[in-house]
Amino acid sequence: MTQSNLGLIGLAVMGSNLARNFASRGFRISVYNRTNSKTNEFIKNFSSSAKKQGGALVGASEYTEFIQSLERPRKIIIMVKAGSPVDGVIAELLPHLEPGDIVIDAGNSFYKDTERRFLELKAKGLHFVGMGVSGGEEGALNGSSIMLGGAPESWRELQPALEAIAAKDFSGEPCVTYVGPGGAGHYVKMVHNGIEYAVMQMMSEAYAFLKIAYNLKPPAIADIFEKFSQGKLNSFLFDIAVPVLRRPDDLTKKGFLIDKILDRAGSKGTGAWASKDALDRGISITSITEAVYARSISASKESRVALSKLYKNKLAPKKLPLPKFIPLLENALYAGMISCYAQGYDLIQKTATEEKWDLNLAEISRVWEGGCIIRAKLLNVLHKAYQTSGSKNSSLFAVPGIVSLMKKYVPDLRAVVGVVSASGVSTPALATALFYFQDATSKELSANFIQGLRDYFGAHTYERTDRPGNFHTNWIS
Ligand SMILES: NC(=O)c1ccc[n+]([C@@H]2O[C@H](COP(=O)([O-])OP(=O)(O)OC[C@H]3O[C@@H](n4cnc5c(N)ncnc54)[C@H](OP(=O)(O)O)[C@@H]3O)[C@@H](O)[C@H]2O)c1
């Protein structure tokens, strides 16, 4: 019997598209799904096209059959709901596996779960890989950005197959990289998702101001965003913002769909994971966390409606003429996004140091150039800036190519935050992007004042500017 190159468990949208992607690149892939009818349907729908593309899809209704169909060492991708289902699938697989086999969790697992699974399987002579996959269902089918965590030998074993299905970066190289051991791949994917939250929040703040202060209709905002996406803000998210804003409401046949969508944002929690982890590690990722908070407050629709009746907040737009404001906004978003990447990269670096991962921020920026949700021209700028500076891991604000950009665009970020805040429209992500930059690049902050208060009420001591040591003052005497 011809054996399959790979196995995949979980045929929901991500798993089925990933399996089709492998098959379209000539791989033979065995698939299994808990609910067997989905396997049968999948094989019925896609096996003949896979064959035409030079690959093969092989359905299995039981684990024994599935495992027997795989060449050794077995490479099994798990693409099921994150959390306990992943542990359940691993437990079911274990009796069938042999030392050297590689189990790959390609879902959005929390990196600490991945660390635990890595160690548990290592103790049994098995390899476990935590693989961050970004790009949604379209990326899974046509090319994702892939961040792999696990043992280097697992990476070497998987590299050819993953390079075949990954998206391409700006130079045509595959958007897949070995990030580091254990949970490193899922960690970097978690921070990617946090950055995604912040970028989307900044875009929504720009949308809100254009809508409220300038009274622009969705297609007019789409026109502005379309121009942005043809320039330095070129990105997948700005590209898709255009059809989202232009879409008429098919249901009522009146107006635009965006105006009918309830202003209550959902989330799957990965932004909050990044924020909690940053708090635990003492790293500031304010724009990412503000984006998480913005979704939380959006969820309180009923309360917001009730309170709005009490306060009747009047917006007093202090606006610039629109042609003057648009380039300022474009520059502000650009500086804000760089600041947001600086926050995410700072978190990645701190974690890499604490966990002893040898990460490379040029390489991480590179694999985000294609396939993933945050793919953008800016990622190529960050990749090249890190590469040119020769520094793998310095603060983004210290990288020479970025210093000149921030010097150029931060004044416009400051102007936009001022104008928008004065008008009564909230800009939590853009404002904190500015504040983060200001504080991270300030010689002096106001923390001396905090230390004075802490020493007064709690004898917490303070350090002095003019001599070493810890000091306490008897403030009452
Ligand atoms: N959707 C996206 O855009 C996206 C993007 C990146 C990453 N991800 C991640 O990729 C993974 C898969 O996402 P998805 O949206 O394709 O699917 P999903 O809705 O997260 O999960 C559904 C799949 O999980 C299986 N499953 C659920 N509980 C199970 C259990 N206890 N035992 C065995 N199988 C179980 C289901 O099998 P049955 O058919 O039997 O119910 C089905 O195949 C998730 O971790 C997700 O967070 C998703």
pLDDT for 417? 96
Q: Is 196 a catalytic residue?
A: yes
The tokens of 195 are what?
């950055």
CA of 15 to the centre of ligand 1 (A): 8
pLDDT tops 90 at residue 1:
no
Q: In this structure, which residue's CA is closest to atom 3 in ligand 1?
A: 136
Q: What is the mean pLDDT of residues 343-368?
A: 96
pLDDT digits (tens, 9 = 90+) for 217-274: 999 999 999 999 999 999 999 999 999 999 999 999 999 999 999 999 988 889 999 9
Residue whose pair of structure tokens reads 């150039």 in the numeric block: 369
420 in helix, strand or coil? helix
Percent over 70 (pLDDT), the chain: 99
Q: Is 356 a catalytic residue?
A: no
Cα–Cα dist 469/463, whole Å: 6
Q: In this structure, which residue's CA is closest to atom 43 in ligand 1?
A: 10
Q: In this structure, which residue's CA is closest to atom 29 in ligand 1?
A: 85
CB distance 141 to ligand 1 below 6 Å:
no
Would you call 254 exposed, middle or buried from its count of C-beta atoms within 10 A (0-12, 13-18, 19+)? exposed
Q: What is the mean pLDDT of residues 385-399?
A: 88
pLDDT tops 80 at residue 317:
no
Longest dimension (CA), the chain: 89
pLDDT for 373? 95
CB distance 14 to ligand 1 below 6 Å:
yes
Q: What is the mean pLDDT of residues 102-119?
A: 97
Cα–Cα dist 128/22, whole Å: 20
CB distance 133 to ligand 1 below 6 Å:
yes
pLDDT digits (tens, 9 = 90+) for 33-92: 999 999 999 999 999 999 999 999 999 999 999 999 999 999 999 999 999 999 999 999
pLDDT digits (tens, 9 = 90+) for 42-51: 999 999 999 9
- Among 11, 81, 103, the mutation site with the greatest number of ligand 1 atoms within 8 A of its Cβ is 81
| Rama region for 154: left / alpha / beta (φ>0; ψ in -120 to 50; rest) | alpha
| Cβ-Cβ contacts under 8 Å for 232 (sequence gap 6 or more) | 330, 334, 377, 378
pLDDT for 268? 84
CB distance 11 to ligand 1 below 6 Å:
yes
Cα–Cα dist 104/119, whole Å: 14
CB distance 34 to ligand 1 below 6 Å:
yes
| The Cα angle at residue 267 between residues 263 and 273, in degrees rounded to 5 | 140
pLDDT for 269? 86
Contact between 128 and 122 under an 8 Å Cβ cutoff? The reply is yes
Q: In this structure, which residue's CA is closest to atom 19 in ligand 1?
A: 81
pLDDT digits (tens, 9 = 90+) for 181-214: 999 999 999 999 999 999 999 999 999 999 999 9
Residue whose pair of structure tokens reads 């274990």 in the numeric block: 94
Q: Which domains does the chain have, with CATH numbers?
A: 6-182 (3.40.50.720), 190-440 (1.10.1040.10), 448-477 (1.20.5.320)
Name the active-site residue from 196, 205, 290, 330: 196
pLDDT for 315? 73
CB distance 108 to ligand 1 below 6 Å:
yes
Length of the chain: 477
pLDDT tops 80 at residue 391:
no
Closest CA relative to residue 65, chosen from 128, 1, 21, 129: 1
CA distance to 34, 195, 211, 249, 417, per residue, from 351 (Å): 36, 16, 40, 45, 31
16 CA closest ligand 1 atom index: 16
CA of 255 to the centre of ligand 1 (A): 35
pLDDT for 232? 98
Q: In this structure, which residue's CA is closest to atom 47 in ligand 1?
A: 108
